[in-house]
A and B are shown apart, each in its own frame.
Chain A
């Protein structure tokens, strides 16, 4: 056996694979072999590093050199220069935009400096398709510890003490959920892993499953031991093929080693896991709808109580927990409840993974301690707003969440605080918006999503959300009235109070929170018939500034409806009655002579 002196870790997450990281791995392997270093250097495909903005990522260890945006053709230079001669390839290093200097080590990068990785601890460090690597980083030790040293009761006490709460959105204490399922007697019980990640822009569950699938399997078995469940289901959307594949590989490997299956660690505890595919309906992230979907029924929620802990899958006690929640469980058992409870804020312990997206410089996956300010996430880790524009709002919690304006940026993030300022934790999607985003249009976008995804079972959600959407559409078309705004203010809370499940109970949030924080923008649409951000096409017009137009005819040539008139070197003019407001002239003009207002 040879010991590799150097490891080249290449991100094999969905994002980086889309940028040819698979080809990059093959090229690196070929180059290493060609250099005759096949037994000195190991090329490893890992899970997501989180820094998706700059993927594909290659990390060279133990040198700790972090390469970004690596192309398959760069493999030769990395091997010949760095691996062979110890000279890092500086053109592939990350350039810190604020100081314009190259940074070679990831821990020096602002993106990683403030992160604390618990759920993502192995993502970007181990090969997810190799159980040996998971075992070498203490994998399955937590399961071994609970099975041989702890009673289910003691395990539940430990989980309660840790303060871990559900990471899927609701924030229900995990220990309490397990306790409820353990107290209900039945011949068979189930553990369900909710991997039906539906919030637009959120991809932390996918990344955990792709980067560290064994941790989820291990935690499910631990939950099985705590609650007395014999079987586990992973409900995952079929549109996550890579995550599904890695789960299948992981389950097979764990079964082979006896870490799942019958009589684990020689005890009388047995646990099996089955993967169940979802078709990608948003409502199936709701636990009762999810359970019905597994049973082969329509994915519709039902009233709670009875809670799944009493009567869940096939009418048996069931505990439904989210992927990220599970990923936190093994470290809690190995490091202790006190360790976990020492991280985070008073009521929200530990860390949370956020999917940072939108108009922010460093798009990616970040794991931060609870209680960190939004400002730190967006401006320190996220690197601020793209193209030096002005921050307007951040949308958290997906379609169920709300928009948080500048004034809320210093709020310490935890479950309670986000709810207090009109948004929610949700699964951790975080979409940053700048001055060019119209808040009415944003609210309309989310309502369109919830209307599409509403299962239609209860009236408030099916009809109420549709009415909200229609009203918003009217407003963006310049046909809204002040009465419309009042109606929405009244209708929103009614939907929230009367809808059957979490989808309807939260879907008016985007409208209500934008009305609360950006009221002036709504009034501008309704009274002045103007869209201040210049997004709603019905409310804006393009004009040519006579003093700036040099008569180059560029706009005239690109106009698809030929509504621009003017001769060479003479001032041009737009015929407003025929303009379709496509903006092509605005983009084509090199002299900033065309404005929209």
Chain B
């Protein structure tokens, strides 16, 4: 594939940027953080497909300001898989019993539009000191 103009290069860059954004996203403080509990309990309850679905949804919607992180056990083993959404400077929200489809909904409604997905909230995570 030959590049014939600067505009072509720019659009190729924008397309490729999505792939490499993952690398720098951890450094960007203003990013929204999506944290999926991936301890033994979470994985057993199906956290991995949930994680993959959420990453995929963000890619489809071209959302670049989201950082996906996995965490260990958050203590809510009864409601795994759990997903925590952290907007910078705001209190985190914890969702429980998330499926792949519900994960996509959280991305669309909460992360993108700022509306809480009320019936899935299992509370606020513990305070971190």
A5 and B68 in contact (CB under 8 A), knowing A64-B26, A259-B3?
yes
* Cβ-defined contact, B9 with A6, below 8 A: no
Nearest 8 pairs of A and B residues by beta carbon = A62-B26, A258-B2, A144-B6, A136-B16, A86-B70, A3-B59, A64-B26, A61-B23
Q: In chain A between 102 and 160, which residues have their CB closer than 8 angstroms to a CB of chain B?
A: 107, 125-126, 132-133, 135-141, 144-145, 147-148
Q: Does A87 contact B (CB under 8 A)?
A: yes
Determine whether A257 belongs to the interface, using a CB cutoff of 8 Å to chain B: yes
- Check if B116 is an interface residue, CB within 8 A of chain A: no
| Contact residues in A for B129 (Cβ distance below 8 Å) | none
Say yes or no: is A4 at the interface (Cβ < 8 Å to chain B).
Answer: yes
For residue A85, CB closer than 8 A to chain B, the reply is yes
Indicate if the CB atoms of A5 and B23 lie closer than 8 Å. Answer: no
Residues of chain A in range 386-437 having any CB-CB distance to chain B below 8 Å? none
- A127's nearest neighbour on chain B, judged by CB, is B20
- Given A61-B26, A62-B67, A258-B3, the answer on whether A133 and B20 have CB atoms closer than 8 Å is yes
Contact status B5-A136, CB under 8 Å: no
Q: Is A9 an interface residue (CB 8 A)?
A: yes
Given contacts A62-B22, A140-B3, 18 further A-B pairs with CB under 8 A are: A2-B56, A7-B23, A40-B51, A40-B55, A61-B22, A61-B23, A62-B27, A62-B67, A62-B68, A85-B38, A85-B43, A132-B19, A135-B9, A141-B9, A144-B9, A144-B10, A148-B6, A257-B1
Inter-subunit contact B71/A4 (CB<8 Å): no
B109 located at the interface, meaning its Cβ lies under 8 Å from any Cβ of chain A in the complex: no
A305 in the interface, Cβ–Cβ < 8 Å?
no
Specify the main secondary structure of chain B where it touches its partner.
helix
B28-61, CB < 8 A from A: 38-40, 43, 48, 51-52, 55-56, 58-59
Q: B67's closest neighbor in chain A, by CB?
A: A62
B19 touches A136 (CB 8 A): yes
- Contact partner of A6 (CB less than 8 A), chosen from B22, B24, B58, B72, is B22
**A3–B23 touching, CB < 8 Å:** no
* B38 & A266 in contact (Cβ 8 Å cutoff): no
Pairwise interchain contact A132-B16, C-beta atoms closer than 8 A: yes
Q: Is A63 an interface residue (CB 8 A)?
A: yes
For the complex, is A265 an interface residue (Cβ under 8 Å from B)?
A: yes
Interface pair B23/A85, CB less than 8 Å apart: no
Report whether B19 and A145 are in contact in the complex, using a CB–CB cutoff of 8 Å.
Answer: no
Interface residues as binary, A1-22 with B (CB distance below 8 Å gives 1, 0 otherwise):
0111111010000000000000
B25's partner among A62, A132, A140, A259 (CB-CB below 8 A) is A62
CA A532 to CA B59, docked complex, whole Å:
66
**A77 smallest CB distance to B (angstroms):** 15
Enumerate chain B interface residues (CB-CB to A < 8 A). Answer: 1-6, 9-10, 12-13, 16-20, 22-27, 38-40, 43, 48, 51-52, 55-56, 58-59, 67-72
Q: Are A257 and B17 in contact (CB under 8 A)?
A: no
Q: With contacts A3-B22, A3-B55 known, is A265 near B4, CB below 8 A?
A: yes
In the assembled complex, the CB of B20 is this many whole angstroms from the nearest CB of chain A, namely: 4
Minimal beta-carbon separation of A44 from chain B (angstroms)? 9
CB-based contact A136/B20 at 8 Å: yes
Residues of B within 8 A of A139 (CB): 13
27 A-B residue pairings within 8 Å (CB atoms): A3-B18, A3-B55, A5-B51, A5-B52, A7-B22, A7-B23, A40-B48, A61-B22, A61-B25, A84-B38, A84-B43, A85-B38, A85-B39, A85-B43, A85-B72, A86-B71, A87-B72, A133-B16, A135-B9, A140-B3, A141-B6, A141-B9, A144-B6, A147-B6, A148-B5, A259-B9, A266-B4
Given A141-B9, A265-B4, also A4-B22 (CB < 8 A): yes
Chain A, interface residues (CB within 8 Å), range: 35 or more
A136 touches B13 (CB 8 A): yes
- Let me know if B38 and A86 touch, CB within 8 A: yes
Name the distance in Å between A139's Cβ and chain B's nearest Cβ.
8
Is B6 touching A265 in the complex (CB atoms < 8 A)? Answer: yes
**Does B26 contact A40, Cβ atoms closer than 8 Å?**
no
Indicate if the CB atoms of A126 and B20 lie closer than 8 Å.
yes
| Distance between Cα atoms of A61 and B69 in the complex (Å) | 9
**Shortest beta-carbon distance from A547 to chain B in Å:** 57
With both beta carbons as reference points, the residue of chain B lying nearest to A139 in the complex is identified as B13
Residue of B nearest to A60 (CB): B26
Inter-chain contacts of B70 with A (CB < 8 A): 85-86
Residues of A within 8 Å of B40, CB to CB, are 85
A9-B23 in contact given A84-B43, A144-B9 (Cβ < 8 Å) = yes
Q: A574 vs B37: C-alpha distance in the bound complex, in angstroms?
A: 69
Most chain A beta-carbon contacts within 10 A, residue among B10, B26, B43, B67: B26
Q: For the complex, what is the distance from the CA of A591 to the CA of B43, rounded to whole Å?
A: 57
Shortest beta-carbon distance from B19 to chain A in Å: 7
Q: In the assembled complex, which residues on chain B have CB atoms less than 8 Å from the CB atom of A39?
A: 52
Least distance between B57 CB and chain A CB atoms (Å)? 10
Q: Which residue of B has the minimal Cβ distance to A148?
A: B6
Q: Are B23 and A86 neighbours in the complex by a CB distance under 8 Å?
A: no
A63: chain B residues within 8 A (beta carbon): 26, 69
In the complex, the answer to whether A5 meets B13 with C-beta atoms within 8 Å is no
Q: Nearest CB to that of B54 among chain A residues?
A: A5
Contact status B23-A62, CB under 8 Å: yes
- Give the distance to chain B from A59, nearest Cβ to Cβ, in Å: 9
Chain B minimum-CB-distance residue to A264: B3
**Nearest B-chain residue to A107, judged by Cβ:** B27
Across the two chains, which residue of chain B brings its CB closest to A258?
B2
A residues near B68, Cβ cutoff 8 Å: 5, 62
| Assembled-state Cα–Cα distance A257/B16 (Å) | 15
- Give the docked Cα–Cα distance between A84 and B71 (Å): 10
Chain A residues with Cβ below 8 Å from B27 are 62, 64, 107
Report B95 CB to chain A, min CB distance, Å.
17
Smallest CB gap from A44: residue in B: B23
